[in-house]
Structure 1
Amino acid sequence: MMDPRTSAQDVMRCDLCEIAVVQMHCDTCLVNLCKACVGEHFSVDFSKPHKIVDFKDRKSTPLYPICTSHNKEQCIMYCKQCYIPVCSDCIESNQHLGHELSKIVRVLTEKKNIIIKERNELNDIIYPTHQDIASDVQNRISQLEKEYGDLSTAITKHGEDWHREIDKLVQKLKAEIDEMKNTQLQTLQKHLDEINKTMSDIKDEIHSLEIAIDTNDLSELFSVTPNVQIYRNLPHKITVSLPEFIPGKIHEELCKLFGTLSSSSFTSDKNGYSMKTTQKSPEAGSSPPVKQLLDEPETVTTIDTGYGQLYNVACLSDEEIWTSGIDSTMKLYSINQGSLLKSITTKSGNRPWEDIAVTKSGDLVYADYNNRTVNIVKNEKIEEVIRQQNWIPHGVCSTSPGDLLVIMDSDDNKQTKLARYSGSTEKQTIQFDDKGKSVYSCGLYYTYYITENRNLDICVSDNRANAVVVVNQAGKLRFRYTGHTPTLKNRPFYPQGITTDSQSHILTADINNDCVHIIDQDGQFLHYIDCGLSRPWGLCIDTNDNLFVAQCGNRKVKKIKYLQ
């Protein structure tokens, strides 16, 4: 058993002395005890029949109810006619004569079996069905947003088409006006030119007559013949008439001409959904066997990767792991031999950021922070599956249904969101909670790792917020885990890599305290794993629930057994 003064594990202590490690348990009082305190516990209360068992067998002893009619008598039988527990005095009093009696332990077992069956139905069928329904509604909300956007875009485009046609009509009418104006101006100008010519001729005639008036030469005077009669005939008056613009009336008919909207509607079909028979996850057919946490996790093997700095690890199988670090090379190692099997260089020459993952089909996936892409390696060929415009991808993981989850932040580092992709198609976005606040923190030079739990919760290590953020499949916030007090080195919780196991435990690396936190699926702290870790960063779990830790401090991957 570990020394509590130097232990790197946070283990349970005796409820009496609060120093020694728990070894025994009183099933009567529900008290945890060390062996040295068992006698003291008996001496506290002699009125109870204390049942002391090994800690691992706690809560195995049934607690018989006390009879309501006969004080301090335990009820060991159950009357099926009266539906109440009964003690031996009740039976001897003939109150239940002729009634069918059964041992209360058997009734307890039957009741527990009914509860277990209903619990399993809720857990394996009803809850996953509601998760699917929530996902379906969320997808339809996203689709509705897109379709209404398309509808608004179509109306805007139709309006623009109308504007273009109206502009053409306006230009046509204005061109006709210009043509009419030019024709009438030319006619009037010609008429004015003719009048001006006549006026010039009249002036010449006046001048000639004035000369004749001033002369005394009779011969010259008799030769003058005035042309006044010609100029008495005035020119025609030309009157122009302007065209008149008669605008069409704008009224309700315009709406019909432009186009109208049909009405929207809701329908509710109580038979629209059907109950699931199995979960989506591969293990849905049956619950996994229950495994207990080891008091002292064991280091199975260590693999030296040779990176300048090691960041990430992902299990390809129980025999092989992918790793990545400070450079652009991703390396495949044999776990048992510790030997390098294969190296792949990223397409862009940038280092993978931040995590690497393996799909259900065994393909390697990585995010390229610098060129905003998510890439998949198939048969040693790299394919770009997702490219962002205004968002930068960080963590990536592959889900049990075969989707990709990607967490990313905006170019200005002011927003962070999580997106679910089927191939290159975005199916779901998780960014805000019910109050409109951002689910994840944002800021420059912070990292995010992501994984999916067995119950389909989405778990993100958000080290800027010093928290593990867990949402359900529909994106609703379930809880935030912000560390456990006391920490091993009394430093702030700073999570990096994150993974989950068959028990739905959530494990996250804490580089500040050189350990791994284990919490349950509801965010309750269970254990620390230390094992001499040096700045643990990336995490992954194989099919046998062995933990692999990528240590940035010494560039080694450590394989750890922490479950029985």
Structure 2
Amino acid sequence: MDPFRRAQIILLCDLCKKAHLQSHCERCHINLCQTCVGEHLSDSSIRHNVVLYKYRKSLNYSKCPDHPDKQCKHFCEKCDIPVCSTCISSDKHRGHNISDSLENHGSKTESLQKDLEEFETRIYPQYEEMASDVQTEKAELETKYGKLTTAADQHGEILHREITTIVYERKSDIAEMKSKHLAALNKNTDEITNRITELRQIIQDLKKILDSNDVSLTSSYKSRNSEFRTLPPKVRVTLPSFSPQKINKDQLSEMFGSLSPLSINTEHGDTMKSAEAVSSPPVKPLLDGPCLIASIDTGYRELYRVSCLSEDQVWTCGNSKSMTLLNHQGKLLTSIYIGTGRMTGRMPGDIAVTRDRDLVYTDPNKRTINLVKNKQIQTVITLQGWRPRGVCCTASNHLLVTMVSDDETQSKVVRYSGSTEKQSIQFDDQGCTLYSSGGLYYNYKYLSENRNLDICVADNEASAVVVVNQSGKLRFRYTGHPLNTEELFDPVGITTDSQSHILTADHDNDRIHILDQDGQFLRYIHCDLEYPRGLCVDIRDNLFVADGDNTVKKIQYL
């Protein structure tokens, strides 16, 4: 039964004791009426967590180990344990400071909340950044070691050319020696051949004289035997020899060149300061002139949204039935197809990346919010009477969703934990609507959670950025540069950075506005933008813009 309608019990606000309670602060464990919520939240020194009364968490007291029939509704400060009422009166806890378990639970809960916030907003991102750096270094190994291999090959080719030249010179010397040797032998052969010819003639002449019995020929013969008894000179050549230098592998290796040793050192990890020691992130001043770092071609005919998975990978979607994961070179890494059958015009309303690095998207046609895990689509939430539009993931891993009623007369922001609705933001303190109503597909309402937990909505139909605090209380509206009244402010995309800046894409004016967390205009970003739409920042505060030329532009502005 609704607690407000019980006839026998009327539950009143714990502060004013007059009005019916409507909300409950889980941090302070008190019940509040609508009027007292604002007063309670005015104490900014405490991180309150105000929820609707029906969504409050009930406290479960532990049973006393010494008195099983009692619940431990008290806490012993000295022993640092919960105790029951019987334990308090025992000698064991005599003289000890005893507090109420609710008070102890509140302070412990606040400490847990601070630990959770530090893990989610500071420690976990640092680990993600380290993992990303290692992956980048691994990806660069092939290129870097490839350069070393190429240098070794090139130096080897130089040495090969030098050795080939030396071998050619030695072979040329051998050929020349061989030619000289052959010439000497040919000359010697000619001399011997000539003498042989002459000897043959003498022998023939002698035979004729002897056969003729002619006295005159015999008397005139003069002997030449003594002339030919001395043989002609014989050429003797000593062959050259090749004396190779003994190869000393060590000297050869040293002559070739050496590698410096590979040094692998495990450095002690840096210790981050605690959340208490670091009240704010490192200050990153705005650049005088933002600069375009990269332009990623997405291949979309109409590009609408972009969301960072890492420093070098972004999810994108547009006028298409698929969402694509691209790297900074525009290479397609993954594609998720959401269309079925012959449905036309079906496309995601918005995309975001969760703390677990999964993709979440809204489907206005099917009234669903969906999670993509391991390339499988899971429907997390199905709405009735409302169609989801924008979505973002918060520091506490909740989902914030903008939605429009089916009759297009209402708009609101709803917070979900898993599939459970935790908060609905629709009206201000005066009961007036915070957000404009209007068409589903042309009344863009994208949103982002700021570092201070403000919820920032780019309300295109209202030409305004609407910012409420964590509890849904209106902080301010930004309607464009106060000195520029000639151009209609046309906010579409929105994001926030580590400095609590609010960045919104001014679609028709081809620029991005940078605001501080209180809505004060700081600067424009132009960078040759053309009808910018979706925005996101990575962990290094690089800005990614889904531009009207269907590219994702990466811009450095801090």
* TM-score normalized with structure 2 length: 0.53
Contact 2:339 2:347 in 1 (8 A): no
Equivalent position of 2:138 in the other structure: none
Structure 1 counterpart SS, 2:46: helix
AA of the residue aligned to 1:496:
V
Equivalent position of 1:296 in the other structure: 289
Equivalent position of 1:453 in the other structure: 450
Is residue 305 of structure 2 the alignment partner of residue 309 of structure 1? no
Q: Distance in 1 between matches of 2:466 and 2:318?
A: 25
Deviations 1:362-410 (A, max 9, x none): 1111100111001110010000001011001000011111111111011
Contact 2:443 2:460 in 1 (8 A): yes
Structure 2 counterpart SS, 1:536: coil
Is residue 118 of structure 2 the alignment partner of residue 282 of structure 1? no
Equivalent position of 1:396 in the other structure: 391
Equivalent position of 2:313 in the other structure: 320
AA of the residue aligned to 1:429:
S
Task: Please report how far the alpha carbon of residue 342 of structure 1 lies from its aligned counterpart in structure 2 after TM superposition.
Answer: 1.4
Is residue 506 of structure 2 the alignment partner of residue 514 of structure 1? no
Q: Per the alignment, do residues 486 and 533 of structure 1 end up closer, same or farther by CA in structure 2, a change over 3 Å counting?
A: farther
Match for residue 345 of structure 1 among 320, 327, 337? 337
Equivalent position of 1:545 in the other structure: 541
Is residue 358 of structure 2 the alignment partner of residue 363 of structure 1? yes
AA of the residue aligned to 1:522:
D
Structure 2 counterpart SS, 1:428: strand
Structure 1 counterpart SS, 2:428: coil
Contact 1:353 1:395 in 2 (8 A): no
Is residue 92 of structure 2 the alignment partner of residue 273 of structure 1? no
Contact 1:299 1:559 in 2 (8 A): yes
Q: Distance in 1 between matches of 2:511 and 2:519?
A: 17
Match for residue 439 of structure 1 among 434, 441, 444? 434
Contact 1:404 1:421 in 2 (8 A): yes
Q: Distance in 1 between matches of 2:457 and 2:434?
A: 10
Q: Distance in 1 between matches of 2:536 and 2:43?
A: 27
Contact 1:376 1:385 in 2 (8 A): yes
AA of the residue aligned to 2:287:
L
Task: Please report how far the alpha carbon of residue 269 of structure 1 lies from its aligned counterpart in structure 2 after TM superposition.
Answer: 6.8
Contact 1:490 1:513 in 2 (8 A): no
Q: Per the alignment, do residues 128 and 397 of structure 1 end up closer, same or farther by CA in structure 2, a change over 3 Å counting?
A: farther
Structure 2 counterpart SS, 1:512: helix
Contact 2:51 2:422 in 1 (8 A): no
Q: Distance in 2 between matches of 1:288 and 1:128?
A: 19
Contact 2:283 2:499 in 1 (8 A): yes
Task: Please report how far the alpha carbon of residue 138 of structure 1 lies from its aligned counterpart in structure 2 after TM superposition.
Answer: 2.0
Gaps of 5+ in 2: 1-41, 58-99, 123-273
Deviations 1:143-200 (A, max 9, x none): 59xxxxxxxxxxxxxxxxxxxxxxxxxxxxxxxxxxxxxxxxxxxxxxxxxxxxxxxx
Equivalent position of 1:560 in the other structure: 555
Contact 1:332 1:340 in 2 (8 A): yes
Contact 1:481 1:523 in 2 (8 A): yes
Of all paired residues, the percent bearing the same amino acid is: 55
Task: Please report how far the alpha carbon of residue 550 of structure 1 lies from its aligned counterpart in structure 2 after TM superposition.
Answer: 0.3
Contact 1:325 1:351 in 2 (8 A): no
Task: Please report how far the alpha carbon of residue 271 of structure 1 lies from its aligned counterpart in structure 2 after TM superposition.
Answer: 6.4
* TM-score normalized with structure 1 length: 0.52
RMSD: 2.3
Task: Please report how far the alpha carbon of residue 485 of structure 1 lies from its aligned counterpart in structure 2 after TM superposition.
Answer: 3.8
Contact 2:386 2:405 in 1 (8 A): yes
Q: Per the alignment, do residues 394 and 341 of structure 1 end up closer, same or farther by CA in structure 2, a change over 3 Å counting?
A: same
Structure 1 counterpart SS, 2:533: strand
Task: Please report how far the alpha carbon of residue 441 of structure 1 lies from its aligned counterpart in structure 2 after TM superposition.
Answer: 0.8
Structure 2 counterpart SS, 1:295: coil
Contact 1:354 1:449 in 2 (8 A): no
Is residue 46 of structure 2 the alignment partner of residue 130 of structure 1? yes
Match for residue 464 of structure 1 among 461, 470, 473? 461
Is residue 53 of structure 2 the alignment partner of residue 140 of structure 1? yes
Q: Distance in 1 between matches of 2:547 and 2:281?
A: 29
Structure 1 counterpart SS, 2:413: strand
Equivalent position of 1:531 in the other structure: 527
AA of the residue aligned to 1:309:
E
Deviations 1:290-328 (A, max 9, x none): 010001000000011111111000000011000000011
Contact 1:466 1:493 in 2 (8 A): yes
